[in-house]
Amino acid sequence: MEYIRGIRQKEALELPEILAEKDFGKEIIVEGTVHSIRDMGDVAFLILRKRDGLLQTVYETGVCRCPLSDIKEAAALRVRGTLQEEARAPHGIELRLADVEILSLPENPLPLAISKWKMNASLEARLNLRPIALRNIKERAKFKIQEGITRGFRDFLYGQGFTEIHTPKIGAKGAEGGSNLFRLSYFHKPAVLAQSPQFYKQMMVGVFDRVFETGPVFRAEKHNTKRHLNEYTSLDLEMGYIEDFTDIMAMETGFLQYTMALLQREYREELRLLQITLPRAEEIPMVRFDTAKRLVSEKYQRRIKNPFDLEPEEEQLIGRYFQEECGADFVFVTHYPSAKRPFYAMDDPADPRYTLSFDLLFHGLEITTGGQRIHRYQELKKKMDARNMEEEGMEQYLDTFRYGMPPHGGLGIGLERLTMQLLGEENVREACLFPRDLGRLEP
Amino acid sequence: MEYIRGIRQKEALELPEILAEKDFGKEIIVEGTVHSIRDMGDVAFLILRKRDGLLQTVYETGVCRCPLSDIKEAAALRVRGTLQEEARAPHGIELRLADVEILSLPENPLPLAISKWKMNASLEARLNLRPIALRNIKERAKFKIQEGITRGFRDFLYGQGFTEIHTPKIGAKGAEGGSNLFRLSYFHKPAVLAQSPQFYKQMMVGVFDRVFETGPVFRAEKHNTKRHLNEYTSLDLEMGYIEDFTDIMAMETGFLQYTMALLQREYREELRLLQITLPRAEEIPMVRFDTAKRLVSEKYQRRIKNPFDLEPEEEQLIGRYFQEECGADFVFVTHYPSAKRPFYAMDDPADPRYTLSFDLLFHGLEITTGGQRIHRYQELKKKMDARNMEEEGMEQYLDTFRYGMPPHGGLGIGLERLTMQLLGEENVREACLFPRDLGRLEP
């Protein structure tokens, strides 16, 4: 009988192993892709791209059996060589090659100069050739940062007693009403793609008290802006037994603090590559919606057009105001008008024209919407009636409240938007591996 | 200016805090939902359901201001009381109540007896009332176990140098060909829901070497069996620079070992509640597809009907064979026939009728499909031509190989199937919060 007994120690070394040892003079084996070739005549520098960064190798004529002319950019290699100190090379090391084995060769030269530090190609061109463009060191580093954010979200919430859930993306009815839904036929029944796990995460508060989900959401919005995607990753949480809606903001602040520390600790190289200064999350100012509107109107001489809505430009100005007034990268804007929030948002008993809800702005862009939800059945029914909403397809959601629910609230964070702001990018598509927008369904 | 400064210490305690201190005689505050009420006349036992388990509280007539008749099952409470030792109560503790505050009340009595140890309701009834049925202690424990599996998968792979990716679920073309796809209109363009992240994860091997994704996949299969869901969570990984396809099986074995240890360590209470004996993953036997067929045919006197396919019953017998012969809970079945595998599977050079691929069976059920992939452009083209496949819509995928790819392979694990087998359930719907099948689109 043959058995598999678990992971095997690979003979070929990865960069962290090499850098931990720095065993100069030792012969080691390394695998990687040829990122660039600089042929100097007698010697050539083959820069290998590995998952943790670049490694310089030195090819000397007459040493390796494999001729230099056989080695192409984008070839996958397995090489043997002696580790040496070299201050001018990445990480201060290089490998003097004794042997090169070609594992695979490309068919054609690369269509993009991915080995350049900053790629000289438009966003459109980079998105069209996404699987190739992402091989650029800086491009791929953005998605390591994105990984760090998702990881921080989960790890922090596990530590806070949250349970991770997986809720269905195909359903009979959407959470926020009829518009902006992608529709499909599900075995001859009408179905929609989930625009949010809202109903499910609320229902699961009755089971686990605190739940979270990281998953795709789908919005058939006809916006074609730098801030919108039609499919994105939502970081959602919902928590019971809150005293008021600031508990939710406190939880989000805790997540941001945890995640910035995680990035600082474990994604140092990517932060350096992308020259990112992490935002301050020690304390986040909070301001009422109406106050925020008044403050920016006064400071920036801007007339308030609609007292019940925030324009994107106003969000930017609120961000600017709190940056200027108290050096804040984030601002919580609270008490959004009831008319602009979904039916399940809890109205403020002190003034029911407003809700116990918030948005989080990061450098002037909304990255989170959250708030307290109605937890009493009769109150929910009353609000649905006032909005002339049908109960059809919502029976299970309503029943959950009929059978008892604790006070609760939650939030949803747009992962790509948070990543975009952290990276200082202008377009959310820069922060999505394979964006879906009005015009883009491929790759 | 008001600020939010991060998570706040709650006054109300959670079970792990109470059990860590066991400060008997101390007055504490606790929140929870009334799981059951046992009225004994002078005293009543109110069992509170908290996220980490049950807590017995003792209500004595004349002590609390809140009358017992006001307290209903499924009410959310905030109580104050004195912690006492009580061997007969859950966790050996109880709370003598001094004060009860009702946070919310249900509208109607519960439609299911969720406080029973084992619920006396059919699967169909429990699925119809899923948000309520999951409040049962054993029902919800299943999904804590499921959380542990997903968590183990990610944590193990982070440690092995994998990068987490998020790939689109709406696309122009499916990975495995035209059948079994849910179709939708994407802004008047034909689109499909991803039945696998296969193409994307392979393309990302060229960027990150090792990638994984945990997310939903959609299969419009018209099967209505105990093993099929039309939407499920897939744990996917793909890794470059493999020496051969057993490297992938070794990685999966490592994941299983890591996860069983994680469950043993951090999900002890749920394992106990559900009386789960964790499977052995120290060493997993591997057997060729054709050998496995022959072995079970001989041992169980079963005629081989089709030498190129495995029937579900044969999978069960293979599981039984290796259980009986070497006490194995898992078996890798390798070298599946090429005709039964997708075009991107690498054929065995020694006998191209078979592929360098595997399934992992867990107690006789397939929970994983994986293998080495073709990494050379011309080879991929040749196999597509031989199968009369069109290149339309696959250009980006093919281009990735045109521009160089290392040898690689990967696998996909059905999270619900793995959970189901771990729990010893008969139906995969037991291991999915909100299953989607031929007949079920709600809740």
B-contacting residues of A 200-259, CB under 8 Å? Answer: 200, 203-204, 206-210, 215-216, 218, 220, 222, 230-231, 233, 240-241, 246-247, 249-251, 253-254, 257
Structural domain includes residue B113: no
Supply the range of the domain harboring residue B69: 15-104
List, in order, residues 6 or more apart from A95 with CB less than 8 Å away.
A28, A30, A55, A56, A57, A58, A79, A81, A82, A83, A84
Pick the residue of A105, A244, A331, A403 with the most B CBs within 10 A to test the interface with B by mutation: A403
The pLDDT tens digits of the residues spanning B129-148 come to 999 999 999 999 999 999 99
**A-chain residues near B182 (CB < 8 A):** 170, 184, 186
Beta A93-104 vs B27-39: how paired, if at all? unpaired
Same domain, B158 and B245: yes
Within a domain: A61: yes
CB–CB contacts below 8 A, A to B? 336
Q: Let me know whether B160 and B42 are in one domain.
A: no
Based on the fold, state whether residues B144 and B86 are members of the same structural domain: no
**Which of A82, A104, A126 is the last residue before a domain boundary?**
A104
CATH of the domain at A257: 3.30.930.10
Instruction: Report the range of poorest mean pLDDT among A41-50, B38-47, B392-401.
Output: B392-401
Mean pLDDT in residue range B35-42: 94
Q: Is A270 helix (H, G, I), strand (E, B) or coil?
A: helix
Q: Residue A411 and residue B49: Cα distance in Å, rounded? A: 24
- Residue percentage of chain A with pLDDT more than 90: 92
Query: What's at A141, amino acid-wise?
Result: A
End-to-end Cα separation, chain B, in angstroms: 44
**Are both A78 and A146 inside the same structural domain?**
no
Q: What is the mean pLDDT of residues B195-205?
A: 97
Taken as a whole, chain A contains a residue count of: 443
A361 and A404 inside one domain: yes
Q: Identify whether residues A89 and A194 lie together within a single domain.
A: no
Based on the fold, state whether residues B90 and B169 are members of the same structural domain. no
* pLDDT at residue B175 is higher than 60: no
- The chain A residue lying nearest B8, using CA atoms, is A250
The angle formed by the CA atoms of residues B58, B106 and B18, to the nearest 5 degrees, is: 35
* pLDDT of B197 above 80: yes
**pLDDT score, position A175:** 57
**Domain membership flag for residue A436:** no
pLDDT at B198 over 90: yes
Q: How many CB atoms lie within 10 A of CB A45?
A: 15
The overall average pLDDT reported for chain A is 96
Among A66, A70, A58, A63, which Cα is nearest to A101's? Answer: A66
Average pLDDT over residues B385-405: 92
Question: Which pLDDT value is given to residue B392?
Answer: 82
What is the reported pLDDT for B386?
95
Is B174 part of a structural domain of the chain?
yes
Mean pLDDT, range A35-39, rounded to an integer: 96
Q: What is the mean pLDDT of residues A389-408?
A: 92
Q: How far does the CA of residue A165 sit from the closest CA of chain B (Å)?
A: 7
Q: How far apart are CA A344 and CA A409, in angstroms?
A: 10
What is residue B437's three-state secondary structure?
Answer: strand
pLDDT at B1 (0 to 100): 86
pLDDT tens digits, one per residue of B345-383: 999 999 999 999 999 999 999 999 999 999 999 999 999
What average pLDDT does the segment A105-114 reach? 95
Distance CA A171, CA A194 (A): 7
Pick from A392-401, A432-441, B92-101, B369-378: least confident: A392-401
Question: A31–B143: do the CB atoms touch at under 8 Å?
Answer: no
A13: nearest CA in chain B? B241
Rounded Cα distance between A139 and A130, Å, is 10
What does the pLDDT average to over A220-233?
Answer: 95
Q: At what angle do helices B312-326 and B289-299 cross, to 10 degrees?
A: 80
Has residue A115 been placed in a domain? no
Residue A416 lies in a domain: yes
- Are A329 and A256 spatial neighbours (Cβ–Cβ below 8 Å)? no
Q: Is the pLDDT of residue A223 over 90?
A: no
Of A50, A84, A104, the last residue of a domain is A104
Query: How many domains would you assign to chain A?
Result: 2
Domain boundary among A104, A125, A160: A104
B79: CATH = 2.40.50.140
Partners of A286 in beta bridges: A332, B2
ipTM over 0.85: yes
In a domain, A114, yes or no: no
Interface with A, mutate which of B157, B202, B205, B441 (most A CBs under 10 A): B441
Instruction: Please provide the size of chain B in residues.
Output: 443
**Residue B8 placed within a domain:** no
Judge whether B427 and B365 are in contact, CB under 8 Å. Answer: no
**A360 near A366, Cβ under 8 Å?**
yes
Give the model confidence (pLDDT) of A247-275 as tens digits. 999 999 999 999 999 999 999 999 999 99
Residue B174 pLDDT greater than 90, yes or no: no
CB contact under 8 A, A3 and B285: yes
Tens of pLDDT, residue by residue over B298-351, are 999 999 988 888 999 999 999 999 999 999 999 999 999 999 999 999 999 999
What SS3 state is found at B1? Answer: coil
**Residues 6+ positions from B383 with CB-CB distance below 8 Å:** B343, B344, B347, B374
C-beta of residue A17 within 8 angstroms of C-beta of residue A30? no
Q: How far apart are CA A157 and CA A262, in angstroms?
A: 14
Is the CB of residue A313 less than 8 Å from the CB of residue A304? no
Q: Using DSSP, state whether A421 is helix, strand or coil.
A: helix
- The partner residue sitting opposite A404, judged by closest CB among B106, B146, B434, is B106
- Tell me: do B56 and B197 sit in the same domain: no
Q: How would residue A176 be classed by pLDDT, with cut points 50, 70 and 90?
A: low
Same domain, A98 and A196: no
Kindly state whether residues B284 and B400 are assigned to the same domain. Answer: yes
The band of A168, judged by pLDDT with boundaries at 50, 70 and 90, is very high
Q: State the average pLDDT over residues A346-364.
A: 97
In a shared domain, residues A142 and A60: no
* Contacting residues for A196 by C-beta, under 8 A, at least 6 apart: A175, A176, A217, A234, A236, A412
Q: Minimal Cα–Cα distance from B59 to chain A, Å?
A: 21
Percent of chain B surpassing pLDDT 90: 92
Provide the pLDDT for residue B393: 80
A174 — pLDDT class (breaks 50, 70, 90): low
Please indicate, yes or no, whether residues A268 and A205 belong to a single structural domain of this protein: yes
Write down the H helix ranges in B62-136.
123-128, 130-133
Q: Which of A193, A284, A404 sits opposite B104 (nearest CB)?
A: A404
Q: Identify which of B335, B174, B367 has the alpha carbon closest to the alpha carbon of residue B244.
A: B335
pLDDT (0 to 100) of residue A1: 86
Cross-chain Cβ contact B52/A5 below 8 Å: no
